[in-house]
Chains A and B, each alone.
Chain A
């Protein structure tokens, strides 16, 4: 959080908030996870006022907050020194916009309503009487078209002149009494520095958990008074209190919207609507989906993960930087252990930084670009609709398709993308399945190279084993992980042409955030490896694994080292296994490949699991995956020896 006065952009998802943000800010943005959440917020200095910071909050469907995105927005409202609230609304859907306004105006903060996508509304025959609406709200209302840069100048002027708006409604008398009682108690015991007590009271009565936590913290011993007042209101209410309050806001918004909107008879559907419908068509939707996934895979998995990584890792780092740095260290640093710590086999530079910058950075950059394009085009939610049924069987919904497909490129990066999933449960299941059963491009290369040389049957057995494990593990995870699958309900925003500047700016901000968060993690992980190696633990681990590898899996004992090294350094493992290929029987090759694919893909992916899920969960997953990989590998060893 910061001390500069903040201008908050708040609004529903897909109303063009991020493009509007792009228009109001300069070239640089900071993307970060809002404290305590996996939700992304973007900040930047306002283009029109260097002393003010603009904050692009996550899209909210409704307030009081219920989802992670809504909670993050609520935290921003409570925690930032808000100078002005800019509600970005969808001009063609005024009812919904005003339902949210009905709550925002109660917060007592100067506010501006930007009715964005005015062009789309006009094209659909929807006209809003802006002057009348501004009069009713008691706050500036503007029509904008963020994508075309229309209305931005007026918006900037309006932000400077923003006033505290008026309440949109008076709730039922009974409710008003309860709201007033809670508001008085808040003013008395825990007033907020800039938000009105009445607004907080409505949110608290509506069951907003973030406001509740804030009041509990600030109110201290007075909090039970607030809770008692809420309980009284709940008992007195005929029905669910939050629902009844929300209904009154909806009705007020409906009435206001009806008085300022006029609709012309609509002509035929717009091109963007037709495209939007074609891509979720039960028939055409599938080839389009496959085409898009293929394009993303080619760009991220092949161009990013292979071409760029090759240039960076082999060309720049291993070819130029690392030898030069090593030479420099050898010439200037006399302490042997220090030299090794920096440029040795598990050196902070030669392994840690090389991994973070040469291996992961190109993949993540290409991914963020591809994701930004999908995000801004409106295709992302449509993709989930087409893929939904496939993932329902394993307790997930269609949103999981992107991480899963990207996992075939790089599991590390795919693990990062699980944050697009909505519930922690979905993120957990997807992360687990990625680590277990999705082979990354490096593994795929080894598998196809090795088993392709054996026979087609070998490749087929391996592929069937992977699909079987994926379905089985997904099914079991869905059954065993607490919580239930939430059916998919998703809005499909109009399809639009993404704005390159916005995509690149967001990518830049996300990369900066990524580097700040990930590099320390890689250095720490490398240091642990270095320490294990120095203490002689690595050879011990390799030796300890030998009986399992030779006895249970039926592989030569050198395979044990290949497993450990393959995990630590992707390149070593691959060459290690290839080197052994001639000495392996077809069964050994299949068993080895099945086990290594099920095994955690690499050290980088483990670090990413730690980052996304926390150390405890990541370690629990490792504790399941490693024995499971050996169990399945051994099972195939026994079965194949019996029947092949």
Chain B
């Protein structure tokens, strides 16, 4: 496994306060919903800030606050850019 590959994490498992970069939207997400997410601005390489994980994953992507069910956030792959403490 390459180091880059190891850094891939599901959005649902990232603690609130962290900042991450989006790597990919998993194929498990419904195609229409994937289009919807892209339209919301969730494209590859975009920075995302995690605001909370409960009761749903809430993120800030370019001044847009989005709430996602864990069922979706689990299939969104991201890499960390800062830790919760450092943010």
**Interface size for chain A: under 10, 10 to 19, 20 to 34, or 35 or more residues?**
35 or more
Check A66/B32 contact, CB under 8 A, given A95-B62, A96-B64: yes
Check A93/B51 contact, CB under 8 A, given A243-B35, A487-B71, A489-B33: no
Interface centre among B38, B55, B62 (most CB of A within 10 A): B55
Q: Which residues, 14 to 72 on B, are CB-close (under 8 Å) to A?
A: 30, 32-33, 35-41, 43, 51-52, 54-56, 58, 62-69, 71-72
Smallest CB separation, B36 vs chain A (Å): 6
- Is the CB–CB distance between A487 and B64 below 8 Å? no
Q: Give CA–CA (A126, B68) in the complex, Å.
A: 25
Number of residues from B at the complex interface, CB < 8 A:
27
Q: Give CA–CA (A280, B43) in the complex, Å.
A: 25
Q: Give CA–CA (A490, B43) in the complex, Å.
A: 17
B interface, CB within 8 angstroms of A: 30, 32-33, 35-41, 43, 51-52, 54-56, 58, 62-69, 71-72
Option from B35, B38, B52, B67 in Cβ contact (under 8 Å) with A490: B67
Taking CB atoms, residues of chain B closer than 8 Å to A243 are 35, 38
**Residues of B contacting A: mostly:** mixed
Check A99/B39 contact, CB under 8 A, given A388-B69, A489-B33, A491-B64: yes
Q: Give CA–CA (A124, B62) in the complex, Å.
A: 11
- Is the CB–CB distance between B38 and A486 below 8 Å? no
- Is the CB–CB distance between A276 and B65 below 8 Å? yes
- Is the CB–CB distance between B40 and A280 below 8 Å? no
- Is the CB–CB distance between A489 and B55 below 8 Å? no
Supply 5 A–B pairs (Cβ within 8 Å), ascending by A: A62-B39, A243-B35, A250-B43, A489-B40, A493-B65
Q: Give CA–CA (A568, B74) in the complex, Å.
A: 50
What are the 7 tightest A-B residue pairs by CB atom distance, in nearest-first order?
A: A62-B39, A487-B69, A282-B54, A492-B65, A487-B71, A92-B63, A61-B39
Taking CB atoms, residues of chain A closer than 8 Å to B35 are 62, 66, 242-243, 246
Taking CB atoms, residues of chain A closer than 8 Å to B71 are 487
Taking CB atoms, residues of chain B closer than 8 Å to A242 are 35
Smallest CB separation, A579 vs chain B (Å): 47
- Is the CB–CB distance between A490 and B55 below 8 Å? no
A99 — nearest CB in chain B belongs to which residue?
B39
For the complex with contacts A62-B35, A96-B64, A280-B52, 18 further pairs of A-B residues with Cβ separation under 8 Å are A90-B63, A93-B64, A95-B41, A95-B62, A96-B41, A121-B63, A126-B63, A243-B35, A247-B43, A277-B51, A280-B67, A285-B55, A388-B56, A486-B33, A487-B68, A490-B67, A491-B67, A492-B58
Check A389/B55 contact, CB under 8 A, given A61-B39, A92-B63, A489-B66: yes
- Check if A414 is an interface residue, CB within 8 A of chain B: no
A257 — nearest CB in chain B belongs to which residue?
B62
- Is the CB–CB distance between B56 and A93 below 8 Å? no
Smallest CB separation, B26 vs chain A (Å): 13
- Check if A593 is an interface residue, CB within 8 A of chain B: no
Q: Give CA–CA (A487, B30) in the complex, Å.
A: 9
Q: Which residues, 247 to 304 on A, are CB-close (under 8 Å) to B?
A: 247, 250, 276-277, 280-282, 285
Taking CB atoms, residues of chain A closer than 8 Å to B66 are 489-492
Check A385/B67 contact, CB under 8 A, given A250-B38, A492-B58: yes
